[in-house]
């Protein structure tokens, strides 16, 4: 069995099962935590928890105008990186092929050249964000191994994906093997570190929004 055969077979299966099981463990653990009772009455004019929660999910996409001058660059880089990842995963023909194979869903792909350009922008924004994390004194203090490992495990699939699309440096087989293995590493790590925000970002925003709405705080 070649390494590529392993990556497309047992490696992929194992990574998928670890990701599914680990995510279920984390989400079940959070949902089953003891909820604190609200002893105070809700604020007058309280429009409902669901509405408050949903509103926060969307309002948090755009920072408050007050903060813009300070965070415009980091928000721009983060948005480029996240939107770029979405375009790569949902627009790249081979990725749609994988989704189709496992879930029977399909849609038209984007031209390869466009996906490569977006991948380049994503990679550049990730590198910039890493430098910011290293050189910003507060951010550096707050950063843990989890942050750097999560960054690396997202960076590697993007990097190997770009190399694969150009088919340079090494053979297609080598680059495809490295690309699939790097994705599998990310899948294995996803439930156990900060990458789980892929699944929890909207949940945590909604939970906060529901709480704030009840208290009448602006979200």
Partner 1 sequence: MESAETLGEVLGRRGFGRRSLLKFAIAMTSSLALPPALAPVMAANLAKAKRRSVIWLSFQECTGCLETLLRSSSPSIEALIFDFVSLDYQESLMAAAGADAERTLREAVAANKGEYLLAIDGSIPVKDGGVYSMTGGRSNLGMLSEIAADAKAVLAIGTCAAYGGIPKAYPNPTGAAGVEDLISGKPIVNIPGCPPVPEVLSGVLVHFISFGHLPELDDRKRPLAYFGTTIHDQCYRRPFYDQGKFAKSFDDEGARQGWCLFELGCKGPVTHNACASLKWNGGTSFPIESGHGCIGCSEPDFWDAGSFYTSLAGGSSAGWRNTGIALGVGVAGGLAAALSGRRKST
> Residues in the site for partner 1, rule: CB under 8 A?
1-2, 4-5, 7-9, 12-14, 16-18, 20-34, 93-95, 97-98, 101-102, 109-113, 167, 171-173, 176, 180
Sign of CA dihedral 37, 43, 44, 47: negative
Tell me whether residue 43 or residue 173 sits nearer to partner 1 (CB atom): 173
The answer to whether residues 125 and 87 touch, using CB atoms and an 8 Å cutoff, is no
Contact (Cβ atoms closer than 8 angstroms) between residue 204 and residue 33: no
**What is the closest distance, in whole angstroms, from the C-beta atom of residue 3 to partner 1 in the complex?**
11
Check: CB of residue 174 under 8 Å from CB of residue 7. no
In the complex with partner 1, which residue's Cβ is closer, 29 or 69?
Answer: 29
Shortest Å distance, C-beta 207 to partner 1:
16
Which CB, 29 or 137, lies closer to partner 1? Answer: 29
**Shortest separation between residue 218's beta carbon and partner 1, angstroms:** 31
Residue linked to tokens 């660059």: 73
Smallest separation, CB 163 to partner 1 (Å)? 14
Instruction: Compare residues 15 and 77 and give the one whose CB is closer to partner 1.
Output: 15
Kindly report the number of other CB atoms within 10 A of residue 138's CB atom: 7
Give min distance, CB of 117 to partner 1, in A: 13
| Burial class of residue 103, CB neighbours in 10 A (0-12, 13-18, 19+) | exposed
Closer residue to partner 1 in complex, CB, 39/62: 39
We find the least distance from the C-beta atom of residue 200 to partner 1, in angstroms, to be 13
Of residues 55 and 96, the one with the C-beta less far from partner 1: 96
Cβ neighbors of 15 (< 8 A, separation 6 or more) are 183, 184, 185, 187, 188
DSSP character for 60?
T
Cα–Cα distance between 83 and 181 in angstroms, integer? 23
């Amino acid at each position: 069995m070649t390494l590529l055969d392993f990556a497309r077979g047992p490696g992929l299966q194992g990574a998928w099962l670890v990701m599914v099981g680990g995510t279920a463990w984390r989400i079940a653990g959070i949902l089953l935590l003891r909820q604190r009772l609200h002893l105070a009455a809700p604020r007058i004019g309280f429009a409902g928890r669901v509405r408050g929660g949903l509103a926060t999910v969307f309002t948090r996409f755009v920072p408050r105008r007050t903060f813009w001058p300070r965070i415009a660059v980091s928000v721009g880089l983060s948005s480029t990186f996240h939107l770029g990842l979405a375009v790569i995963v949902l627009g790249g023909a081979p990725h749609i092929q994988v989704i189709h194979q496992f879930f029977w869903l399909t849609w038209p792909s984007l031209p390869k050249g466009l996906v490569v350009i977006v991948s380049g922008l994503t990679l550049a924004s990730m590198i910039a964000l890493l430098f910011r994390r290293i050189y910003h004194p507060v951010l550096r203090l707050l950063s843990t191994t989890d942050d750097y490992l999560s960054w690396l495990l997202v960076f590697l699939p993007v990097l190997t994906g770009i190399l694969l699309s150009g088919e340079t440096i090494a053979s297609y087989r080598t680059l495809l093997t490295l690309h699939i293995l790097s994705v599998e590493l990310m899948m294995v790590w996803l439930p156990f570190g900060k990458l789980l925000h892929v699944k929890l970002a909207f949940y945590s925003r909604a939970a906060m929004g529901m709480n704030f709405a009840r208290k009448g705080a602006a979200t």
